[in-house]
Structure 1
Amino acid sequence: MKEPWICYCFALFLFLNCYSTTAQPPFVNSSVNLPTTWSNTESLPNYFNFTDGSFVQVILLRESLGPQFACGFFCNGTCISYLFVVFIIHTTYRVPLSEGGFVQVPTRFPPQVVWSANRDRPVSSGAILNLTITGELVLQDVDGSTVWTTNTTGKSVVGLNLTDDGNLVLFDINNSTVWQSFDYPTDCLVPGQALFEGQQLIPSVSSTDWMAQKDSYSLKVTDKGLVAYVGSNPPQAYHNILIDDVYVNSDDVYDKYIDTTRRRYVRFLNGNLSLFIHSVEPSDPLGVITIPKASSAQYMKLMPDGHLRVFQWKAGWSEVADLLTGDYFKECNYPMTCGRYGICLGNQQCSCLVSTSSNINYFRETKGHQPNLGCSEITTLTCNATQDQLLIELGNIGYFTFIRDMKNVDLATCKQACLNNCSCKAALFQYGGSDSSSGYCSLPSEVFTMMIVEPDLYYYNNISAAFLKVQNVRSLPASGSKSQSTLRVILASTIGSSMFLFGAIGFVIYVIRKRRWATQMEEEYIDEVPEMPTRFSYEELKPATKNFNKKLGEGGFGAVYEGTLEDGSMIAVKCLEGLGQVNKSFLAEVKSIGSIHHVNLVRLRGFCAWKSQRFLVYEFMSKGSLDRWIYHGNREHVLEWECRKKIILDVAKGLAYLHDDCRQKIIHLDIKPQNILLDKDFNAKVSDFGLSKLIERNQTEVMTTMRGTLGYLAPEWLGSVITEKVDVYSFGIVFLEILCGRKNFDRSQPEESWHLLVVLQKCWEQGTLVDMVDKYSEDMQTRAPEVVEMLKVASWCLQCDFTKRPSMSIVVKVLEGVMKVESSLDYNFTDPRLQKITVEDDKDTTTLFPSVLSGPR
């Protein structure tokens, strides 16, 4: 009996050892012990591409034929970002090996992601997942920053396991669970998984879905049952699966199972979704929602459209159930079926509100002629113009929810309450009880899809009357009234010189009205630009910044103020001055920089356009700008060599991303220490790269007016034909300043050493580069040989001939030790014309033709 087992083990040993030399080794096990490290580099094993452009790199796998759970790195589409996920992968056939045995090969059906650790913070290629010796599972991006962690240090973790039901578990020496992915659901539930009160499912929204918003839908457990919400303030419930609405075992006594010490939850089981709201296992649930029994892998997912769908493997993934449905709940009940302010009729036929009897349109399609994507106000509601607001009545309209904000009030009181409340967007009214004069009032802060209902028929959340709040466009000038006003001015001028004063008054009124109309057109244009970053209102920024009280800095185009949003996150608000009206170039650039995300670029969180003022809202960088830390006599404390080296690499990576990895090549044009910001851990981020210069990838150079800061300008600026190498030169100057601990132009030095480049050229000629190392840092002096090598990198960036400078991508590779510095360098670093400009200007750095978003924070 033992011999077959011996043969089997020997064959398996040969299989594992022989196959480990091939291009694709066999799948890994479902459990590992610490410490262990994985990287998402393509050259590592267990790497699979799929027909939809996605790929996975398997780390742990539950081996079996057919669909099975696995965890690892996942990317979709262009694969410029990665997630650490648990997914279901399907293996259906085995490839025999010549040495004996076989290897399972996955089909090309895309993997189904059921849990993600970092879906809001994707990592780049080269990221590391580390199960540390202290028992913590940590995901770090390629720059070393921590993106996600289990926070289990010191909890006696000994290993990582992926269970048969897809639960990723950290366990201790007693095999007890210390941490599990089931406690942190994302958008899916798998059979056996529970959703507890306090947890929620939130759909994963594609970055290309411009209409969908993060947190737009959610699914939660309450004391009444399972409730689906759409995002607003407060959230609006669009579907309830209550214990009174589902099948309840008639033999159960309701009070018998009440247990206030346990958390309420629902559990996804094969064949049903069980509601344990007032009962606990092993007792029977108080309610169940029937689901088709699965013959293969199954999971449920809250979709971006608000549906809760159940999927199953049947020669491919297919939908087998949609749980948020019912006799009175049809497609039009989903809040975003026709978008915001959309009207839904029948089989998802969408439209916007038509003209009223006064021939005034208050709404239009948000995106082209696609009413299914929602409607928007032609004139935006503003809190400082409530006197010009009114309510328009809607006939035979239903809404997916009705929150009783006011009870025992009449219709007139309900309407007036909405007009008096700035956040109210509509007044919905239900008559209640036998009293026909009073009822309930709902005052939603956002209006989602409404639906046409047949009169005199019962409808879910029947509404007796519905009114939408709109801005009275009659208070704004129409084009015809402008012409009439002009005509009146002309006629008045013919009466004689005695009427000249009235003509002047009429002209002033015309100008004022024209400006108001232009402001309205600006607002309309902003609303029409898709994929814009978050637009903040002035009413949000004013309290966030405490009435713009704490100034962080000031540049050529306005001041920057510290602020704190309602969610507690800190921001830096830049007030742009002198821009005048909103124009297409401003919005295009805001849209562009709002879509750029890199760990070494300061993130634009949003913008605000209020009257003639423009604001940009950035993430807050607590350590301020680099110039506070590198200049002797002007720094808060002396930075160690390792910190300076990390800052240099961070800046290089940020510029390399702008030059090489964006959709359009972006040249910064104003690299200087004031535009390099530091967070609390001294991670460096490039700021003010908006409104720089965008060029197409097939362009090699571009002509533009001179812009930037004296002392950091490349020589080729004098010819006005520039490439991205102007940024390399400016980076070289900053690089040099960090290594030397002084400004590039410093009158406190002896006259022959005013210019740092002159000193560099002299030191190269005399072979005394070590003399340039920051003399006020003991650590820098100790590491002088290494600093000298870095001075050579800076010198390569400072070549007067821009064609001989390296690209920023090459600079990154040199700094990381992958490449070496060019050996044949030109040591003539100075251009007398630029030196003359700098000397004649009696300031250290003076901004010439700055980009619109330029200036220190």
Structure 2
Amino acid sequence: MISHHNFDFNYISDENGRYFVYSVTNSMTTRFVIDSSGQIEQMFWLESSKAWFQFWSQPRQPCDVYAYCGAFGSCNEGNQSFCACLPGFRPKWENNWNLMQDYSSGCVRKTQLQCENTVVTNGKSDKFLANSHMVLPKHPQSVAVGSIKECETTCSRNCSCTAYAYEDNACSIWIGSLLSLHQLSPGDANGKTIHVKLAASEFSSSSNNKGIVIGAVVGSVAFVALLGLLAFMYFRKRENTMKTSKSVEDGSLVAFAYKDLLTATKNFSEKLGGGGFGSVFKGRLPNSSVIAVKKLQSFSQGEKQFRAEVSTIGNIQHVNLVRLRGFCSEGTKKLLVYDYMPNGSLDSHIFHRENSKVLDWKTRYQIALGTARGLAYLHEKCRDCIIHCDIKPENILLDAQWCPKVADFGMSKLVGREFSRVLTTIRGTRGYLAPEWLSGVAITAKADVYSYGMMLFEIVSGRRNFEWNSVYSEDEEMKYFPTWAASLMSEGGNVLSLLDKRLEGSADVEELSRICKVACWCIQDDETHRPSIGQVVQILEGVLEVTQSPIPRSLKVIADNKEDIIFFTESSETSGASSQAKFAGSSASS
């Protein structure tokens, strides 16, 4: 299906063994390196982009590299920087961490342990700090004890012991540096708790008895003044929600009060859109930043699970994904707070609307590429593959610079068991659903690839796949666009005839042909014949070449029974301004 025009691979099987070999097929510049972390990478230079691209790596994920973050460093694949020092530690070499993204030097203690201090004795014993949701470090030592307290005592008495864990009635201790610590999301069942030894001064100490007495006296004298101060702080809180809202997961998310979001959205008066999972409203915080607030519907998660899933989504950050800023969870009220996208959703620009800007081909191509990159991050770069399940133009948002952002990822986990039922009944979603949604087989990331392919056709044509709008003359034959496009590409026809007529043929023919071939592969009936979204990215970047696909059988059925296909439009629930369409066939359905 897809070949890499820069590398020629061969599988050898003879009396000497079985192995792969490859050769470079042109004069391109390549490099095979082991970086400072120990990860092996095959890189090549793409002249058109003036950048190095990774073709292959092992281990695949940075956090799978042994001791990637060095001693006392914790790796988190949900963060862009991957590495962070454990509490009570700091980077050994700041410049390497901040400027070179080389974390192999690890971290060192901010404060020396009491048991290591031979000069000053302050009488305070070292303590242990619990770090939860962790993959435990390498090289533990087992200790036979009867309780977690005995496990702690064993480690405390040995100055070389830096941490202990007590899981399943078994005690493990670590001597010396902690290597290959891995921070998991709160909802991950594989997470363990490790107790790391720190100097007593790293913990906030309580006041002594004298301080308590003095504090009580001062507090009594200043009682009236404190009442006034509390009143001032109350009104101050209403003026600045962000500063007083409760932070979740190291400050990356904000837990908003419902009344604050009610104020920010002016009682949810300005609706931006909506669908089967809830409605979205525009809001403005006291600091003048603009937000989009989604009120969730069809919700079945409990409070603990909701917060865990929201925390996981909040840690997923990529330039082509809409950033989750915070949430609200008060009883049955569940809301998500996102960055506001001033250029709205993709559907409002590619489909014919009055007073809408006609996107040029360069912008459309970059939107297609950016969307694929966002999906590739969800499918291939997160610790667990995240399947979006609802890729369509309404869920591709555009920022002020027309950079695409995939929205609504993670909704399947948030909505829970109702997700599939709601998804398959939303008008405007059904036309993008892969066949496996209706056949009952397990849904994989290839379902997103199918939806993405359907959306590519619409980016090219500027109309819904099932829609015939006023842009086209009434005397032209009614066509289901994917069938027409696949047939034309298969016959080697004029690819420019597929282009949105409002662009008047102004497009890069090579890019247009590439994007149509990709779309045809993405909508193959058999999911094993579809490319991964990572391959799609490489094709659109010009790194991989793509051949013409066979016409999917489902499209042939439509073409062979077009006299029985009835097209009709109905108003869309999601946009209110665009048309959706369905098709039905008396003989095609038999």
Please report the TM-score for the alignment, with normalisation by the length of structure 1.
0.40
Amino acid at match of 1:745: F
Distance 1:797 1:84, change over 3 A: closer
Q: Map of 1:705-784 to 2, 5 A cutoff?
A: 707-708=423-424, 709-721=429-441, 722-748=443-469, 752-753=477-478, 755-764=480-489, 767-778=493-504, 780-784=505-509
**Who is 1:214 aligned against?**
none
Give me the whole-angstrom Cα distance separating, in 2, the residues matched to 1:395 and 1:783.
Answer: 75
| Contact 2:458–2:464 under 8 Å retained in 1 | yes
| Contact 2:78–2:317 under 8 Å retained in 1 | no
Number of equivalenced pairs: 422
Answering whether residue 68 of structure 2 is matched by residue 53 of structure 1, we say yes
Q: Map of 1:155-170 to 2, 5 A cutoff?
A: none
Q: Map of 1:22-171 to 2, 5 A cutoff?
A: 52-54=67-69, 77=75, 112-115=92-95
Distance 1:82 1:413, change over 3 A: closer
| Contact 1:667–1:724 under 8 Å retained in 2 | yes
Give me the whole-angstrom Cα distance separating, in 1, the residues matched to 2:98 and 2:130.
Answer: 30
Q: CA deviation at 1:680?
A: 0.9
Q: Which of the numbers 828, 831, 843 marks the counterpart of 2:570?
A: 843
Q: CA deviation at 1:783?
A: 2.6
Give me the whole-angstrom Cα distance separating, in 2, the residues matched to 1:397 and 1:756.
Answer: 81
Q: Which of the numbers 784, 789, 802 marks the counterpart of 2:514?
A: 789
Q: Map of 1:319-338 to 2, 5 A cutoff?
A: none
| Contact 2:129–2:195 under 8 Å retained in 1 | no
| Contact 2:77–2:383 under 8 Å retained in 1 | no
Gaps of 5+ in 2: 1-30, 36-49, 58-63, 84-89, 132-155, 157-190, 198-206, 236-242, 575-590
Give me the whole-angstrom Cα distance separating, in 1, the residues matched to 2:121 and 2:284.
Answer: 44
Partner of 2:431: helix, strand, or coil? Answer: coil
Q: Which of the numbers 196, 213, 221 marks the counterpart of 1:410?
A: 221
Distance 1:790 1:802, change over 3 A: same
Amino acid at match of 1:550: E
Q: CA deviation at 1:668?
A: 1.0
Partner of 1:572: helix, strand, or coil? Answer: strand
Answering whether residue 324 of structure 2 is matched by residue 623 of structure 1, we say no
Q: Percent identity?
A: 35
Give me the whole-angstrom Cα distance separating, in 1, the residues matched to 2:65 and 2:381.
Answer: 24
Q: CA deviation at 1:641?
A: 1.7
**Who is 1:607 aligned against?**
327
Q: Which of the numbers 294, 307, 322 marks the counterpart of 1:587?
A: 307
Residues 639-663 of structure 1 show CA distances to partners (whole Å, capped at 9, x for unaligned) of 2222111111111111112122222
Partner of 1:606: helix, strand, or coil? Answer: strand
Distance 1:321 1:601, change over 3 A: farther
Q: Which of the numbers 383, 400, 407 marks the counterpart of 1:687?
A: 407
Partner of 2:555: helix, strand, or coil? Answer: coil
**Who is 1:103 aligned against?**
none
Residues 294-323 of structure 1 show CA distances to partners (whole Å, capped at 9, x for unaligned) of xxxxxx99x8xxx6x599xxxxxx99999x
**Higher Cα Rg, which structure:** 1
Give me the whole-angstrom Cα distance separating, in 2, the residues matched to 1:666 and 1:542.
Answer: 31
Q: CA deviation at 1:810?
A: 0.8
| Contact 1:602–1:618 under 8 Å retained in 2 | yes
Amino acid at match of 1:679: D
Partner of 1:753: helix, strand, or coil? Answer: coil
Give me the whole-angstrom Cα distance separating, in 2, the residues matched to 1:784 and 1:746.
Answer: 25
Give me the whole-angstrom Cα distance separating, in 2, the residues matched to 1:661 and 1:369.
Answer: 25
Give me the whole-angstrom Cα distance separating, in 1, the residues matched to 2:291 and 2:477.
Answer: 43
Aligned-pair RMSD on alpha carbons? 5.7
Give me the whole-angstrom Cα distance separating, in 1, the residues matched to 2:390 and 2:565.
Answer: 16
Distance 1:585 1:111, change over 3 A: closer
Q: Map of 1:171-190 to 2, 5 A cutoff?
A: none
Answering whether residue 372 of structure 2 is matched by residue 652 of structure 1, we say yes
Q: Map of 1:165-314 to 2, 5 A cutoff?
A: none
Amino acid at match of 1:619: D
Q: CA deviation at 1:408?
A: 11
Give me the whole-angstrom Cα distance separating, in 2, the residues matched to 1:821 and 1:770.
Answer: 18
Partner of 2:502: helix, strand, or coil? Answer: coil
Which one has a larger percent helix, Structure 1 or Structure 2?
A: 2
Partner of 1:680: helix, strand, or coil? Answer: coil
Partner of 1:666: helix, strand, or coil? Answer: coil
Give me the whole-angstrom Cα distance separating, in 2, the residues matched to 1:676 and 1:544.
Answer: 24
Amino acid at match of 1:52: A
Q: CA deviation at 1:84?
A: 13
Higher relative contact order (CA 8 A, sep 6+): 2
Give me the whole-angstrom Cα distance separating, in 1, the residues matched to 2:129 and 2:234.
Answer: 23
Distance 1:573 1:116, change over 3 A: farther
**Who is 2:545 aligned against?**
820
Q: Map of 1:325-724 to 2, 5 A cutoff?
A: 396=209, 398=211, 410=221, 412-413=223-224, 416-417=227-228, 533-579=253-299, 582-633=302-353, 636-692=356-412, 707-708=423-424, 709-721=429-441, 722-724=443-445
**Who is 2:20 aligned against?**
none
Distance 1:369 1:637, change over 3 A: closer
Partner of 1:615: helix, strand, or coil? Answer: strand
| Contact 1:773–1:784 under 8 Å retained in 2 | no
Give me the whole-angstrom Cα distance separating, in 2, the residues matched to 1:808 and 1:24.
Answer: 26
Partner of 1:624: helix, strand, or coil? Answer: coil
Q: CA deviation at 1:679?
A: 0.8
Distance 1:610 1:734, change over 3 A: same
Give me the whole-angstrom Cα distance separating, in 2, the residues matched to 1:557 and 1:716.
Answer: 21
Q: CA deviation at 1:593?
A: 1.3
| Contact 1:800–1:829 under 8 Å retained in 2 | yes
Distance 1:668 1:420, change over 3 A: same
Amino acid at match of 1:53: Y
Distance 1:532 1:578, change over 3 A: farther
Distance 1:39 1:762, change over 3 A: closer
**Who is 1:438 aligned against?**
none
| Contact 1:83–1:117 under 8 Å retained in 2 | no
Give me the whole-angstrom Cα distance separating, in 2, the residues matched to 1:41 and 1:725.
Answer: 22
Give me the whole-angstrom Cα distance separating, in 2, the residues matched to 1:833 and 1:586.
Answer: 42
**Who is 2:5 aligned against?**
none
Distance 1:22 1:668, change over 3 A: closer
Q: CA deviation at 1:614?
A: 1.2
| Contact 1:594–1:604 under 8 Å retained in 2 | yes
Amino acid at match of 1:777: L
Give me the whole-angstrom Cα distance separating, in 2, the residues matched to 1:397 and 1:842.
Answer: 79
Give me the whole-angstrom Cα distance separating, in 2, the residues matched to 1:594 and 1:675.
Answer: 18
Q: CA deviation at 1:796?
A: 1.0
Give me the whole-angstrom Cα distance separating, in 2, the residues matched to 1:806 and 1:792.
Answer: 11
| Contact 1:796–1:822 under 8 Å retained in 2 | no
Partner of 1:781: helix, strand, or coil? Answer: coil
Q: CA deviation at 1:768?
A: 4.0
Residues 811-854 of structure 1 show CA distances to partners (whole Å, capped at 9, x for unaligned) of 1111111211144423545286999999677426568xxxxxxx
Partner of 1:726: helix, strand, or coil? Answer: helix
Give me the whole-angstrom Cα distance separating, in 2, the residues matched to 1:423 and 1:321.
Answer: 50
Give me the whole-angstrom Cα distance separating, in 2, the residues matched to 1:417 and 1:773.
Answer: 68
Distance 1:415 1:824, change over 3 A: closer
Partner of 1:830: helix, strand, or coil? Answer: helix
Q: Which of the numbers 524, 530, 534 marks the counterpart of 1:805?
A: 530
| Contact 2:487–2:551 under 8 Å retained in 1 | no
